[in-house]
């Protein structure tokens, strides 16, 4: 893979951040649809709403770790070989709270 300059990394990071924000909006839509579900009386459409919520949550977390946190580490010239290290560094920097 071609090595990107810092400016290119920052541009790519900003594009990824915009995509994450859009993805979060879709996640919120799924969340609010799922709030009305009666968990004691699930129907087929309820399962579909829950499945959509879970899928969007998974994609959002994946994007957060693999694009945003990894992008920050690339910009700061950190080692990106392990996802766990990326998350630990982000927590230490207070990028997000647990």
Read off the tokens for 75.
């910009």
How far is CA 40 from each of CA 27, 30, 53, rounded to the nearest angstrom?
Answer: 23, 19, 18
In a domain, 98, yes or no: no
If the chain, 98 residues long, is cut into consecutive pieces of 10 residues, what is the mean pLDDT of each piece? 79 96 98 96 97 98 93 81 75 65
In a domain, 53, yes or no: yes
Total domains present in the chain: 1
Whole-number pLDDT of residue 1: 46
In a domain, 81, yes or no: yes
The pTM (predicted TM-score) of the whole model is: 0.76
CB count in 10 Å sphere of residue 50: 16
Residue 84: domain span:
6-92
In a domain, 1, yes or no: no
In a domain, 27, yes or no: yes
In a domain, 26, yes or no: yes
Q: Which residues of 53-88 are buried (b: 16+ CB within 10 A; e: fewer)?
A: beebeeebeebbeebbbbbbbbeeeeebeeeeebbe
């Amino acid at each position: 893979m071609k090595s990107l300059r810092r400016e290119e990394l920052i541009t790519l990071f900003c594009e990824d951040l915009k995509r994450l924000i859009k993805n979060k909006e879709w996640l919120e839509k799924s969340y609010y649809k799922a709030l009305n579900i009666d968990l004691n009386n699930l129907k087929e459409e309820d399962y579909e709403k829950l499945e959509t919520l879970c899928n969007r949550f998974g994609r959002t977390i994946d994007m957060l770790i693999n694009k945003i946190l990894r992008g920050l580490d690339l910009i700061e010239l950190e080692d990106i070989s392990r996802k766990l290290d990326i998350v630990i560094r982000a927590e230490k920097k207070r990028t997000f709270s647990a």
